[in-house]
Structure 1
Amino acid sequence: MRRTAHKPTLTVLAAVAVTLLSGCGDTGVVTSPTPTANRECQRLTNDEVDTLAADHLTGPDETAIAGLQSCVWHTKDNSTAVTVTHVDASVWATKLPALLDQVEKGGLAKNEKTQEQLANVRGVLEAGGSMDAATACQMFSTLLEMQGQPAGTTRSVFFYPTKAHPQAMTGQACENGVFTNVSVARPDLKGTTEEGHRVLAALISAAGSDGSVNG
């Protein structure tokens, strides 16, 4: 059973892309979007994108957000945007050193076992090694567990920077060796449960997975 934790501009979406599970972070890097026919950009229909945005968006364009190939839809003034990232989890794992920095700064590694596990992961990655997709998804779940989510959580939905004052909302999953991120930045976000449920529905659609969801 899969568990889910419920927790404007491309710059904001880059921030949530690299923040991922930690809730605080960097602005990331966004390359100039270019029109694309990439099949990965068909993981959400235009109707699903417009529902998330509460507006009609143009796209999809292909871009790199925080170094991960992504698809973006946006308004002409870029005040509202939706992004989808769907990559092998081993590729997502290359971003783990920055995540581990955030975890350590946030004091989330509170016990010796977790600290040792994170140190081992950092050692492998900093030595130029790689992490296979299955192990990367295990680390995804571990990072969620460190934030108080149940063991085995594979999906997360949260508002950025806070639910009280949201600029963006994002849903992320790491399942079957694949990392998926669906984010939306809108100037009119309220931080409501209904908004979170919309992102979760889009995340499930983009990830191409079904099943029970708790949380």
Structure 2
Amino acid sequence: MAITVAAGLSVAACGGDDDTKAADPTPTASPTTQATVDPKEPACSFLTAAERKKLVGSAIDQVVATSGTPDSSQCRWQASSALIQVTTVPAPAWAKSLPSVVAELEKSGDIRTSADKKELARAKKLVAGADSFSGQQACDAFTTLAEIGGAKKGATTTITLVPISKAESGISAQTCTSGQLTSLIYSVPGLERSKQVDGAVTTALAAAQRRALAIR
């Protein structure tokens, strides 16, 4: 069983293909809303053209979808062979989804071993007061859930593989610092995790997080 930080992330369509999906830390909007394109959405300024090119290996400048609220922002860039999506949301807003996520996990039938049950109990206790978490408490919960999922002690960033389509995978990286949660989705054909890939994604995510914190 994996009770991870990504368990608190919803799933949103990431392209024109009905099979295309990726993790998204904000509530999923309708397909019509997701198709909205506003290049001035704050998240569209979180990665420079040079940073996107460095991550993908080629230019990826077309904004294909945006979404935002007074507190959260999302921007998605897509090319013929690549996808980048950046989303930021106040950590307390993200944390409010956790009790229901843990409850669904408990119902899923994936809780089989004594270790699973111990992790579930720890997670349930952790998110019991999530509706009233401060920014720091929410990021502390992020770290604890990351540790439960196997991350190093004190981790403020997680990286996981996520399904993008039936044939392709992507990397979802999240970080929670100073009361703000930011996520980066990255995919290219044939993507596989490696130290080099993880390092590149972490560097891009850190740049996005700096800018997310700067505009709060």
TM-score normalised according to structure 2 size: 0.69
* Alpha-carbon contact 2:77-2:83 (below 8 Å) kept: yes
Cα deviation code 1:39-70 (max 9, x no counterpart): 33212111111222233223345226xxx631
Q: Check if 1:114 corresponds to 2:122.
A: yes
Alignment match, 1:72:
76
Q: Check if 1:37 corresponds to 2:44.
A: no
Q: Please, what is the CA RMSD of the aligned residues?
A: 3.4
- TM-superposed deviation, 1:116: 4.9
In structure 2, what is the Cα distance between the partners aligned to 1:97 and 1:151?
A: 22
In structure 2, what is the Cα distance between the partners aligned to 1:187 and 1:98?
A: 33
In structure 2, what is the Cα distance between the partners aligned to 1:70 and 1:188?
A: 25
* Alpha-carbon contact 1:33-1:72 (below 8 Å) kept: no
| Change over 3 Å in CA distance of 1:190–1:167 after alignment to 2 | same
Q: Where in structure 1 are there 5+ consecutive unaligned residues? A: 1-8, 21-26, 210-215
- TM-superposed deviation, 1:191: 2.4
Alignment match, 2:199:
197
Q: What secondary structure, in the 3-state scheme, does the structure 2 residue paired with 1:135 have? A: helix
In structure 2, what is the Cα distance between the partners aligned to 1:187 and 1:16?
A: 17
Alignment match, 2:7:
none
| Change over 3 Å in CA distance of 1:41–1:110 after alignment to 2 | same
Identity between Structure 1 and Structure 2 (%): 23
Cα deviation code 1:110-162 (max 9, x no counterpart): 258615514623xx64xxxx432111111111111111223321111222249
Q: Check if 1:10 corresponds to 2:14.
A: yes
Q: What secondary structure, in the 3-state scheme, does the structure 2 residue paired with 1:158 have? A: strand
The alignment covers a number of residue pairs equal to: 183
Q: Where in structure 2 are there 5+ consecutive unaligned residues? A: 1-12, 212-216
Q: What secondary structure, in the 3-state scheme, does the structure 2 residue paired with 1:16 have? A: strand
